[in-house]
Structure 1
Amino acid sequence: MYVKHRLRRLPDTPEKIARGIFAGVFTSFTPLYGLHFVVAGLIATVMRGNILASLLATFFGNPLTYVPIGVISLKTGYLLMGLDRPPAEHGNLVTKFVRAGESVLQNLKAYFTDDVANWRDLDVFYHDVFFPYLIGGILPGIICGTIAYYLSVPLLRAYQKRRRGLLKAKLASLKKKKTADGKPRAD
């Protein structure tokens, strides 16, 4: 609720705010978790969009949407890379995530002990999950970002016009009260 309220009150043109929204929604389709704010801010800067709008729009990716976004991005990535589905030789998708996490922990431990670092599971994760997700997120990200852009411009324009009208009416009301009394009123 606050995000929607804050987004409406941004002091930029509807087009600039919408470019920021595009950047945030697009970024939600990348596997760069933990870097979404940075990536969205950079994209918004390049597109001359509103940076705060881009940061707020990254919330398009949330616990309810991450699974569909991930599935769509991975399937699109496999399609674009010419793969029918992820290679199954190293286990299913969940197994690859688990093994990659375990590999990170083991390799951190190896850094401080005599153990040998083994990056094989991370290599498999990169080639079977991360890279297809990254490539596959581009097209759906552009599509959803464009839809968000074209939906938000007229909504933002109407909201800003209505808000300006309300502020003008309030100012006129205050001026009317002031002239009626001959002195400013304290409300």
Structure 2
Amino acid sequence: MLFRRKKPATWSGKLREFLWPRKGFSRGLRYLSMRVLRLSSSPHSIAIGVAAGAASSATPFVGFHILIALALAYMLSGNLIAAGISTALANPLTIPFILAATYEVGLVILGTGGSSALAGQDILHMLGHLEFSHLWEPVLKPMLIGSVPLAGTSAVVFYVAAFYAARLFQSRRHVRRQSKMRTRTVGWADEL
């Protein structure tokens, strides 16, 4: 085999690699960001797609983030690939924080602060019994209301960051291509 290890990995080595990758956790983030920056769209289109993905990731609709992001990007003429990739912001590590933040912000907006706040065990108990009528008022309503400002804020922040990053990346790529063309043209002219 072409890419086979000379010495097979041990079970403990596979476990260590799974828990803490050799190249680090940031490698995946760098890969996704470069995939977005290398898209051949305008910086505005890329930024709209990233903003749509970030906004949908800040909602409590777990499992529907990509559909929401694609719909938003399509309606706003954003890049669909950038929208799909940026939904990776909502992953198993960040979803508990997103859900807790939407719940807390919703309670603050509704003005119910600490009086009707439920503990995590109470919410899990309600979710386990699927009592939607009992779940709407204390949990779902605050989460939906709290997700609106969080989604709007994350959309604005990620739009600005993605727009300037895409514009910078594309301008640097254009300069590199122009310098390569000049060296090829000079080299070709010298041969004549």
Specify the alignment match of 1:20 in structure 2.
49
Q: Is structure 2 residue 145 aligned with structure 1 residue 140?
A: no
Does structure 1 conserve the Cα–Cα contact (< 8 Å) formed by 2:110 and 2:142? yes
Residue 170 of structure 1 deviates from its aligned partner by 2.2
TM-score by length of 2: 0.74
Residue 29 of structure 1 deviates from its aligned partner by 1.2
Q: Is structure 2 residue 81 aligned with structure 1 residue 52?
A: yes
Does structure 2 conserve the Cα–Cα contact (< 8 Å) formed by 1:45 and 1:51? yes
Distance 1:85 1:66 in 2: 22
Residue 18 of structure 1 deviates from its aligned partner by 0.8
Specify the alignment match of 1:128 in structure 2.
138
Does structure 1 conserve the Cα–Cα contact (< 8 Å) formed by 2:60 and 2:98? no
TM-score by length of 1: 0.76
Specify the alignment match of 2:173 in structure 1.
163
Q: Is structure 2 residue 100 aligned with structure 1 residue 71?
A: yes
Distance 1:41 1:86 in 2: 38
1:151 to 158, 161, 182: 161
Unpaired stretches in structure 1, ≥5 consecutive residues: 104-118, 183-187
Q: Is structure 2 residue 105 aligned with structure 1 residue 95?
A: no
Residue identity over aligned pairs, in percent, reads 25
For residues 14-63 of structure 1, give each alpha carbon's deviation from its aligned partner in whole angstroms, at most 9, with x where no partner exists. 11111111111111111111110000000111111111111111122233
Distance 2:72 2:122 in 1: 33
Distance 1:94 1:27 in 2: 26
- For 2:163, the aligned partner's letter is V
- For 2:154, the aligned partner's letter is C
RMSD: 2.2
Specify the alignment match of 1:38 in structure 2.
67
Does structure 2 conserve the Cα–Cα contact (< 8 Å) formed by 1:76 and 1:136? yes
Q: Is structure 2 residue 40 aligned with structure 1 residue 11?
A: yes
Distance 2:65 2:115 in 1: 25
Distance 1:48 1:122 in 2: 36
Residue 156 of structure 1 deviates from its aligned partner by 1.3
- How many residues are aligned here? 163
SS in 1 for 2:139: helix
Distance 1:175 1:94 in 2: 70
Residue 64 of structure 1 deviates from its aligned partner by 3.7
